[in-house]
Amino acid sequence: VTKRPLRIGIIGTGFMGRVHSHAWRQVAAHFDLPVMPVLHTVCGRRREPAQELASRYGWHNVTTDTTALIHDPDIDLIDITAPNNLHADLAIAAAKAGKTVACEKPLACTGANADRMARAVDDAKVASFVWFNYRRVPALALVRHFVQSGRIGRIFRVQSAYLQDWLNDCDSSDSWRLQKDMAGGGSLIDLASHVVDLVRAITGCEFLRVAATMRAFKSCRAVVPQARTGDDVTDGKDALSPSRGQPECIDTCLPWGDGPVDVDDALAITADLSNGAICSIETSRCATGHGNDLAFEVNGDRGAIRFRLPEFNHLEFWDNTLPVVERGWRRITATGSAAPYASAYWPTDHALGYADSFTNTAADILRSLGTDESFSPNFDEGRACQHVLDAIAQSAAERRWVELSQRISLPVGH
């Protein structure tokens, strides 16, 4: 019997366009799927990169017209990897056209837009998916399994830091990620979105309130967030205290070439979670020594567990129910039959990589579409995450605790 084809149209040809293409192309080689992905059309702003992507990954068609793509009756699923500011309009149009919609994280630049998107897929009764790929790194999926099965017990502490350092090299040129109008924010939108999603998914807890501080460190872009409020709460003498509306620079290297950049570089957050746990979060693009380092740890009364992205195939577990002399951090390898997703690939103890987490996501999307299995996160959850990000930004700008209770009331999902 031939499996039902699922014809995909992808928007965007950047880094994420490549990784999604890789996932769609690879997924059926590794996984047994109820529907068969067809790499139907790639759509880019410019034709050449789209052509290039098509020839490398096997997309059958190329277009530069998003509207045509979205309304093409031969396409079943629209996969959005365009810059963040385009997510909302594209996803809403796709939903209205009756397409299944998959959207790269973060769902949107603002909670308001995320609300519109969630409403649109709801109204159109189409399935929706957000590519928070880290949920499907086998080791992190195993972390979630340990937590959800009670091995950590009552959670007291959640700590996560997503640290990068590429902004320390002054010639970084990943431009749209440094433009607020396209990216929606800096480390907040790009990195904290992952952390907030993981905290909710792994612990099953909701954010109650947040207090955050935010910083931009580079010359031509050192708009200290609170300065924008016009509300100078300090005594005017410290290094961070600009005269009203005239942000002082924290100049550390050569100016950026592309003109003013207006997104945050780093962020620290203290949060209360709904179960009483304390949650501490950091994100940065200037954290020298951390190229791409997402750390996640949960500590409870029965155990503790942690993961670091540079140790992609490993997690560490502490079983507090063992005799004292046998307790210790145990490094578990999440490959082979020992971990979610990993058995689809190679025998145990053969390393998987970053791109495989996208392939795993594609597998679950296709399974969900071919069965009645639900998929998490959908747009509702993406929306909940977005409101936490909004609260963080507000907290940093107004320098106060912001309560989340009015903003989100969603189940955390599975």
Site for a copy of itself in 248-287 (CB under 8 A): 250, 252-253, 265-272, 274-280, 282, 284, 286-287
Q: Which is nearer to a copy of itself, 358 or 379 (CB)?
A: 358
Scan residues 137-156 and list those touching a copy of itself (CB under 8 A): 142, 152-154, 156
Residue 116: in which H helix or E strand, if any? helix 111-124
Selected from 24, 57, 162, 375, the binder of a copy of itself by CB under 8 A is 57
The verdict on 213 binding a copy of itself (CB under 8 A) reads yes
CB 110 within 8 A of CB 393: no
The verdict on 353 binding a copy of itself (CB under 8 A) reads yes
Span interacting with a copy of itself, options 96-104, 105-113, 203-211, 382-390, rule CB under 8 A: 203-211
Q: Please, what is the minimum distance in Å from the beta carbon of residue 140 to a copy of itself?
A: 13
CB 218 within 8 A of CB 261: yes
**Sign of dihedral through CA atoms 205, 143, 34, 382?**
positive
**The pair of three-digit structure tokens given for residue 245, joined into one six-digit string:** 């509306």
Selected from 125, 171, 173, 326, the binder of a copy of itself by CB under 8 A is 326
Q: 130: helix, coil or strand?
A: strand
Tell me the C-alpha to C-alpha distance, in Å, between residue 281 and each of 235, 293, 301, 304, 413: 28, 13, 21, 17, 22
The verdict on 333 binding a copy of itself (CB under 8 A) reads yes
Gap between the Cα atoms of 47 and 331, Å rounded:
47
- The count of chain residues that interact with a copy of itself, using the rule CB under 8 A, is 115
Q: Please, what is the minimum distance in Å from the beta carbon of residue 249 to a copy of itself?
A: 10
Span interacting with a copy of itself, options 28-36, 77-85, 117-125, 365-373, rule CB under 8 A: 28-36
In the sheet that 4-11 helps form, which strands lie side by side, from edge to edge? Answer: 61-63, 35-43, 4-11, 77-80, 100-104, 128-131
Residues 6+ apart with CB under 8 A from 201: 132, 135, 144, 376, 377, 381, 412, 413
Q: Which is nearer to a copy of itself, 113 or 213 (CB)?
A: 213
Q: Which is nearer to a copy of itself, 67 or 176 (CB)?
A: 176
Span interacting with a copy of itself, options 66-74, 114-122, 175-183, 341-349, rule CB under 8 A: 341-349
Tell me the C-alpha to C-alpha distance, in Å, between residue 345 and each of 32, 332, 349, 366, 410: 12, 18, 11, 17, 34
The verdict on 10 binding a copy of itself (CB under 8 A) reads no
Span interacting with a copy of itself, options 79-87, 189-197, 227-235, 381-389, rule CB under 8 A: 227-235
Span interacting with a copy of itself, options 19-27, 60-68, 102-110, 194-202, rule CB under 8 A: 19-27
Burial class (CB in 10 A: 0-12, 13-18, 19+), 353: exposed
**The pair of three-digit structure tokens given for residue 92, joined into one six-digit string:** 């809403």
Q: Please, what is the minimum distance in Å from the beta carbon of residue 385 to a copy of itself?
A: 19
Scan residues 89-118 and list those touching a copy of itself (CB under 8 A): none
